[in-house]
Each structure stands twice: as structure tokens, then as C-alpha cells.
Structure 1
């Protein structure tokens, strides 16, 4: 389908040797992002000691939702370093929707545990930057899921935009949601609970960990959907 938006190719203008180095560096970065997302979820789950309190389930659910499921749901479209690189596009889209459904379920469950914990402890709601960022992230996640539904059923919803533009809008909004989720995760590390659990050099390491997958995701989406002017001969 013709369009005035053209995707920027990866590695354009590089020599063969530089191109392969670029590809392998991207592949290593994507693999590291997979490991970081999984590792961060596991470590936060261990630190929170799930079952010891209602609150203990909140970090578990939120880390699984955003550090693991959302990261995997985006990175599975990467051509380098993704365990699903051999799957068809249709299969990847289904896996993406499955991951995003898990994000909504896990995030809603984590929110429920937080609300229950606050009510039992008779503590006020929405009194920290982390709580406000968390609510904003959840709202943006729901909106993004609605945008995804619009992209799948454009004719049923009678949308006038072309499928190519809908994909670009969906990817751009998804990047905003992921970056907002990253800021929320980072802000959680300034909470009293996390600073009492992790201290010293380890705390600084945790502070930097969520930023790496965010950079990889941002690079992947901008490389795939960044519009540029067509080259006319």
C-alpha cells in the first residue's frame, strides 16, 4: 500500500564489516535487555518476599507486568536476539497480545494488592510521586491497549487512517507507555521500602538497570517506525 512514510533502514551507509559489527552489537544489546528484564523481575520478587504481607505482592505483580511481560511483548518484534525471531509475523502479533494481556492482568492485580494494603493499614492514597506515576502508567497502558484494538479492527470501528499510519501511532504510543513505566519503576527505588531493603552500591545498580531495556526498546521502535523523506531520483 503506497504511503508517504518510509521506514528508516538499519545499518544504511555502513560497509560490510561495519554492518556485521553493528548487527552483532544490536543482537547483544537485545539479549542483554531480555536478561535484564527477567533478572530485575526475579530479584524484585525475591526482595519483596511475597506472602509476608499484602504489600509484598505489589512489587511482584508490577515487576512481572512491566519489567518482564511488557519488555518481552515489545522485544519479540526485534530481528536480532529475540527468541521468537523464527516465528511468523502473525504469530508474533498473537504473542504480543498475549504479553500485553498479562501486563494488564498483573498490573491490575498489583494495584488491587496496593489498595488493600493501604486500606488495612489505614494509610492515605496517592501521596507520593511514585503513586501518581503508577496511576498514570496504568491509565496509559489501558489507553494503549484500546489503540491496539483499533489497529486490529479498523474497518469495524470505521477508522479513516491507513493501517501503516495506525501501526506508527500504535508503536509511538507504546514507546511513551514503556518510558513512563520505566520512570515509574525507577521512582519505586526511591521509596522507603526499597531503600530500606537495598542499600549502598547495589542500590545504584538497581537504579540503572531499568534504563538499559528502555534504551533498547526506544532504539528498536525508532529504527522501525521513524519516518523520513523519500529519496527521489
Structure 2
């Protein structure tokens, strides 16, 4: 009896050629739709916030730019389907990823600063809602994730023992940060300000919109870092 070990990735297993092309096009369309959704949601929230009318008005703008747009684009640029940066080299994508992540931190900290300043002016208490607590947790997780990324960027300087393993941890933690950010964005739509601004079917549409890019990002990361299995055939 002879046994052959066949290594495979479970993604697309058992698909014939016509089904594979359909699967590839569906993935491409979903990635493009995620780009459009992230940009559209950011623009809509920015318009609803009417930036400049108050200190608070800049908070939703900065946070949507940071977590709905920049964080999404910083991850999706590694996608091979439907990404506007598919022509870039791996090194170019990594550098662009770091640029996006740095902007995420800068914009998010700026948005948090506007919120703190707004509450100080109105003399309202801090951290009394689930949204604010989730926001603090998301911001802290973003800083930790960036620290992990710095170790990957300078492995010798940071004395990283196993860069491949750290890379896997970085991707996994990045997915956790993105999902946490998605929950924080959705929780913002339960705030008094948002419910007073958007009502009815439009409110439900806003609640569902952040979930689609999250599904695409989750699919991309799990497909890229899913452990390969082995099948032994006789």
C-alpha cells in the first residue's frame, strides 16, 4: 500500500474550473463592495456630523475616518482580488499598510481628544456609556497592535525570536482589533445623538453597513493565515 501526502488549503476545495472562476469573481466583487462601503459609511457619518458646528462634531468624523476607512483600507490592500493596490509590490504594500496604521492612531487620538474636550466644556462625566468604554478598549488595543507591528518591522532591534510566529499573532490580533472597532462603531449608533439624527429604516441600514467590511476582512485574514492541512491517500 502506498500513501501520498497531499498538502492543500481548504479554501476552494473541490471546486471545478467554472465554479472556481465564479468563486474568484464573487471574492473580487465582495472586496470592491467592502471598499465602497467603508468609504460611503465614512462620508455619510461625516455629513451627518456637520464638522465645525461644535467640538463634538469632529469626534464622529475622526473616528469614522480612522476605523471605518483607514483601518479597512490598511488591511484590504493585501487582498489579491479587487484591491486598487494589487499592482504594488509586497514591500510597497507593507509600507502603505504602516502609513495607514499610523494615520489610524493619529486620527483616533485626535477624535478622542475632541470628545474629551467637548465633555469638559459641557461638564458631562466621562466613560459612562458602553460606547465610550468600548472606544477606550479599541484605542488601547490599537496601540498594542501597533507595538506588535513595530517589532515585526524591526525584528533584530526588538530581538524577536520568531518573526513568522509573531506575524501570525499580529494578523490574529489585528482581526480582533478590527472586530472590536466594528462593535464600537455599531454601539455609537445607539447613542442619543445618532438616534436623534437618523431614524427608521435608515438607522437599520447604518447598523448593518459596518458588518459587511468586517466579514470581508475576517475572510481575508483567515484565508491568508489558516493552517494548511494534510490528507493521506492510499
* 1:35 and 2:46 aligned: no
Radius of gyration: which is bigger?
2
**What does residue 61 of structure 2 align with?**
60
**What does residue 101 of structure 1 align with?**
102
1:135-178 superposed Cα distances (whole Å, 9 cap, x missing partner)? 000000000000001111122111212x3212111100000000
Counterparts of residues 190-209 of structure 1 (less than 5 Å) = 190-209=190-209
Alignment RMSD? 1.3
1:79-110 superposed Cα distances (whole Å, 9 cap, x missing partner)? 00000001100000000001001100100000
User: Any gaps of 5 or more consecutive residues in structure 1?
Assistant: 1-5
**What does residue 165 of structure 1 align with?**
165
Which whole-Å CA distance do the structure 1 matches of 2:109 and 2:160 have between them?
29
Q: Answer whether contact 2:59 2:112 (CA < 8 A) is retained.
A: yes
Structure 2 counterpart SS, 1:217 = helix
TM-score (normalizing by structure 2)? 0.94
Q: CA deviation at 1:51?
A: 0.3
User: Across the two proteins, how many residue pairs are aligned to each other?
Assistant: 227
TM-score (normalizing by structure 1)? 0.94
Which whole-Å CA distance do the structure 2 matches of 1:75 and 1:9 have between them?
21
Q: CA deviation at 1:228?
A: 3.3
1:14-49 superposed Cα distances (whole Å, 9 cap, x missing partner)? 110000000000000000000000000000000000
Structure 1 counterpart SS, 2:100 = helix
* Structure 1 moving runs of 4+ over 4 Å: none
